[in-house]
Amino acid sequence: MKKPGSIFLALFLFIPCVFPVHAQSPAIFSSDRAIAYGASFSVPIQVNQFDNITGLQFIISWDSTLLRYKGVEHPALDIQTQKHFGASAASAGILRFLWFEESLAPVSLPDGSTLFEIRFECIGKSQETTSILFTEDDLTKIEVYDKKYRKLEVQFKEALVSIKPTPVNEQINNHKKPISFLNTYPNPFSNSTSVSFTLDQDGLTLLKLYDLSGKKIHEETFDLNRGNHKIVLAARHFPVPGVYVCRIESSGGSISQEIIFK
């Protein structure tokens, strides 16, 4: 698979309008669900107002200590697993998606259509939760283009997966995310980078770094109060230049972000 982001850059370099267009903004979303430990299940990635679209890309992330990635299934359009997904960091909870219509003919889907489904195995403990997040980084920016090759604004709605020893189809409500990333800046970086996040409650918080093989290369523990926090990562924690996964864990939840050391 080509480097994420490079296809759109080459394809749309000649397009005069590169600013987001507000009209007819598409929506990409999934739904909350409760899953029993050990269950295999699929998370559908759905769309609304998917009208006259020629290309899109984004990142999906989750807590890989709770959900084990098993693959992608039931794709719409001409989406192909090997061609349109970057799963090199899926073991760390990061899946890249990039698709464009090769004929440049615009494509539309009815509201509520499933773009594709992500297959998981539940490996977390009862009462733990993880969000299915839509995000971006310097390698894969959030981009959606219409029939005039204009970049559209897009609305995302994340999903919450709750692990309970109950039937898979039980509905869940009113769960709060225990932690969320605000920003990692700068990214890429060469000397140091700041990881900013928000805690919903007091408690021990772990910062872990992994390389893309899944090997843990660094870990720190903090006793933090609820609220906003910033942790500075120095270059000495990274053995060689490359892409790494930074994970923050606290209160039974976690979230991951790719960072690039150059």
User: Tens-digit pLDDT profile for the chain (262 aa)?
Assistant: 444 444 443 444 344 444 454 457 899 999 998 888 888 899 999 999 999 999 999 999 998 888 999 999 999 888 888 889 999 999 889 999 999 888 878 999 999 999 999 999 998 887 788 989 999 988 899 999 999 889 999 999 989 998 875 443 333 333 456 776 667 889 889 999 999 888 888 888 999 998 877 788 999 999 998 889 999 999 999 999 988 888 888 876 778 788 889 9
| Phi then psi dihedrals of residue 152, to 5 deg | -100, 150
Helices (H), the chain: 6-11, 81-84
Q: What per-residue confidence (pLDDT) applies to 250?
A: 84
Strand partners, 61: 94, 133
pTM, entire model: 0.61
Q: What per-residue confidence (pLDDT) applies to 23?
A: 52
Q: What is the CATH number of domain 6-163?
A: 2.60.40.680
HSE of 76, CA atoms in CB hemisphere, 13 A: 15
Fold category of 179-261 in CATH = Immunoglobulin-like (2.60.40)
- What are the domain boundaries of the chain? 6-163, 179-261
Tell me the three state secondary structure of residue 103.
Answer: coil
